[in-house]
Amino acid sequence: MRPEDLAETRQLPLFRNMLQANFAALMQGAYAQRFPAGLELIRQGERADFLHVVVEGSVELYAGWQGRETTMAVVQPVGTFILAACVRDLPYLMSARTLEPSRLLLVPASDLRAIFRNDPEFAVSIVGELAGAFRSMARHAKNLKLRNSRERIACYLLKQSQLAGGVDRFVLLVEKRLVASYLGMTPENLSRAIKALEADGVSLKGQTVTITDRARLMAACPPDVLIDGPDPERMSGGVSLPGPALPVR
């Protein structure tokens, strides 16, 4: 593995406080691999053999049932998935596929469990990571169950604006079909909801979002810290999509 990959991985909240000797032992059994776009990395229902660390590219986590699919999250560098299945030695609840050419670090789940039992600081980090993922999942479930489609997209766009520094114009970094799936709607419903929100102060052209009346948009869906967050420290994984980018001038 490249030294820079190890250095970036070491700085993740999951690994930063563990003993160096244990980190070195964990990484000794790990390996890095490149994958093309659109490749299925894991499939729901399979046993968890590896913790995956995304060091380049992006990976979509998704789930399926009876021919239907939904996007659960998109993981970007440097982020991990799926920790809970690795810790419990249970089947994956989600599948994963690359959205673009990606480079991943694969850490054997058996080694992770062994060091978890012997390194208290690593165990504390794992508990913190799992707690953060649970809170992220609970917020996402509340958003889906308590808000209608118009409110979900309004609050999503307001949160993206906040992540971009409170700007009124920003670029979504994921396709609209992924945004729609993540928010529990079809692409057609997403387009209709965005069209309806134009009267409330927001427009979307391509991937570029422009907020023309922030007060009206916030009235359409008042942000709620118990749904929208954030918590103090970002976790490596969770239920989320990548943040936005500022438009090129």
pTM: 0.87
Q: Give the mean model confidence (pLDDT) for residues 135-146.
A: 93
Within 10 A of 117 (CB to CB), how many other CB atoms are there? 9
196-205 — which CB contacts under 8 Å span 24+ positions? Answer: 196/150, 197/150, 197/153, 197/154, 197/157, 200/154, 202/154, 202/157, 204/176
pLDDT at 237 over 60: no
Q: What mean pLDDT do residues 120-126 have?
A: 96
| % of the chain with per-residue pLDDT over 90 | 75
Average pLDDT value over all residues in the chain: 91
Identify any residues that bridge with 71 across adjacent strands, giving them in sequence order: 62
Q: Can you give the pLDDT at residue 248?
A: 64
Contact 179, 187 (CB under 8 A): no
The answer to which of 26-35, 139-148, 150-159, 225-234 has the lowest mean pLDDT is: 225-234
Q: Quick check: 235 pLDDT over 60?
A: no
What is the tens place of the pLDDT at every residue in 195-222? 999 999 999 998 999 999 999 999 999 9
Measuring CA to CA, which residue among 129, 91, 127 is closest to residue 109?
A: 91
